[in-house]
Amino acid sequence: MDLILVSVVLASVLALVYASWTSKRRGMPPGPAQRIFGSRKPSTVPPWKIFAALHKQYGKIFSFYQGSTPVVVLGTIKAATDLLDKRGSIYSSRPRNIMAGELLSGGMRGLGMPYGTRWRNWRALMHAGMSVEASQNYKILQSLESKILLRDLLSASDSVEYSAHLRRFAISVVFCVAYGRRVLSLDDPLVVENMKTDECYIRMSTPGRYIVESWPILLKLPHFLQWFRAEPLAQRARDTALYTRLMEGVREQMKVGVAQSSTARWGLEKQAEWGLNDLEMAFALSAPFSAGVGTTLATFDVFLLAMLCHPEVMKKAQAELDGIVGPHRLPDFEDAESLPYLRAAIKESMRWRPVAPLGVPHSVIAEDMYESMYVPKGTTVYANIIAMSKDEEVFSSPEEFRPERYLDEMKSDSKVLPPQSTFFFGFGRRVCPGMHVGQNSLFILAARLLWAFDINRSGDATGESVLPDKDDFIGGLVIRPRPFAYSLDLRSEDRRSLILEESRKALDEASMWG
């Protein structure tokens, strides 16, 4: 009799749980019943590939549960614009991120902060340091560094060395944006420490990698049983020491009047206005490096890959450069408006293979309805950037690399860009704050590299030229092409002489940044 009673009670409980779950799902976008993430062993399939399969099965908007948290994935620019842009007052928060946001960062990294006063203060600081207007201050440094890069590439022998020089360029620019100082070598201890920090943050932000994100009840365990806790806390202690040291270095420079324009200088000048204490300020000032280096390098790798796969585009961009700039000077920022095809090719590379395939997820702070679909309060919302880039209703033949898609925009005087031109930077109030600095770096890199060099395939062990796999990408929150071989072949000896002359002058001028 007792066994029958227990069975009846258990069946009733299970029925109530099932009814509760189905009622929560009722009205939400369609989606799978089973868990996508949250097992003890993380999936080896990248999240964006999992989402691609689910879009095919359930449509351009689907939903699922990650533990007890509802998740909605938006696969169109229109849906993301309607919700994340136009309803930004409720779609601009961030989901809880235990590993990267809480344990690793102590809630102090703006990228993962929930929407509110603290985040708005952080955003104001980033805007002051990297807005359209502020980004103009870094153009001189970007120009000088790109001249030095060209000199370094002249003596490099293979794609491994090319990559190292490109990395130094990107890191040096970002360090100047953040702290007003150049980076002369990748062996600089500050660079080594920052790269370790960056890798750790990206890894711990990857969806589905850690079971505690799906089951936060694990935080109720005694600390010594929380196997996932030790690594992020140890890294946070190292990060705190590093970021504080960098910030205090700028503060000392300000005292003696030698600090260059940087986000750190502006932040420290108005620290009370931003409402950030020293520890919060130190973490805030790390944002340009954390978000800027990996995305810049990955995006330029995609541009190089596109030029290898589509040499006709490279030749057309070079012809435009030759017609506007000629062989006797380097292209500069002032040439940008006269180089619409090159700018369109850069933008098309960002659409063709987006390097932030799922962006950074948003969180909804109030329940909502969209096209008769229910979005509960607390839902995590992904803007599936890579799915948007392949939407045939917006981009005809999306697998084709076709800069002409953006030519009309490049020739327009309008300052208001359509969503299909900016979606890879994110949406709404969470759009990438460093987009203007990043675009300037990409332009001067692409313009000067194509002016100086032909980008050609390298041979394999048999001497056969090899085309890289354009779909072989690695990474997590930010992805990049798997390292591939290529050669940079100087277009003329006259250009070598000009590069060497310009780089000598650039080294002298850049000395004020260290």
pLDDT value, residue 41: 59
List the Cα angle 397/403/406 in 5-degree steps. 95
pLDDT value, residue 267: 92
What angle separates helix 340-352 from helix 287-309, to the nearest 10 degrees?
A: 100
pLDDT value, residue 276: 87
116 φ, ψ to 5°? Answer: 165, -170
Are 84 and 430 a contacting pair, CB within 8 Å? yes
pLDDT value, residue 35: 74
pLDDT in 10s for each residue of the chain, 514 residues? 454 544 444 444 444 444 444 445 679 999 998 777 655 556 678 889 999 999 999 999 999 998 889 999 999 999 999 999 999 999 999 999 999 999 999 999 998 999 999 899 999 889 888 889 999 999 999 999 999 999 999 999 999 999 999 999 999 999 999 999 999 999 999 889 988 988 898 889 887 788 898 889 999 999 999 999 999 999 999 999 999 999 999 999 999 999 998 999 999 998 988 888 999 999 999 988 877 788 999 999 999 999 999 999 999 999 999 999 999 999 999 999 999 999 999 999 999 999 999 999 999 999 999 999 999 999 999 999 999 999 999 999 999 999 999 998 887 766 667 888 899 999 999 999 999 999 999 999 999 999 999 999 987 556 677 889 999 999 888 899 999 999 999 999 999 999 999 999 999 999 988 7
pLDDT value, residue 1: 45
Residue with tokens 């949250």: 38
d(CA 349, CA 342): 11
How crowded is the C-beta side of 145, counted as CA atoms within 13 Å? Answer: 31
d(CA 337, CA 426): 25
Q: What's the start-to-end Cα distance of the chain, in Å?
A: 84
Residue ranges of the annotated binding site for heme are 432
Residue ranges of the annotated binding site are 432
How crowded is the C-beta side of 496, counted as CA atoms within 13 Å? Answer: 8
Residue with tokens 């990043």: 438
d(CA 30, CA 54): 10
Residue with tokens 């031109």: 421
For residue 123, the one-letter residue type is R
pTM: 0.90
H-helix or E-strand spanning residue 92: none
Domains of the chain: 92-356+390-513 (1.10.630.10)
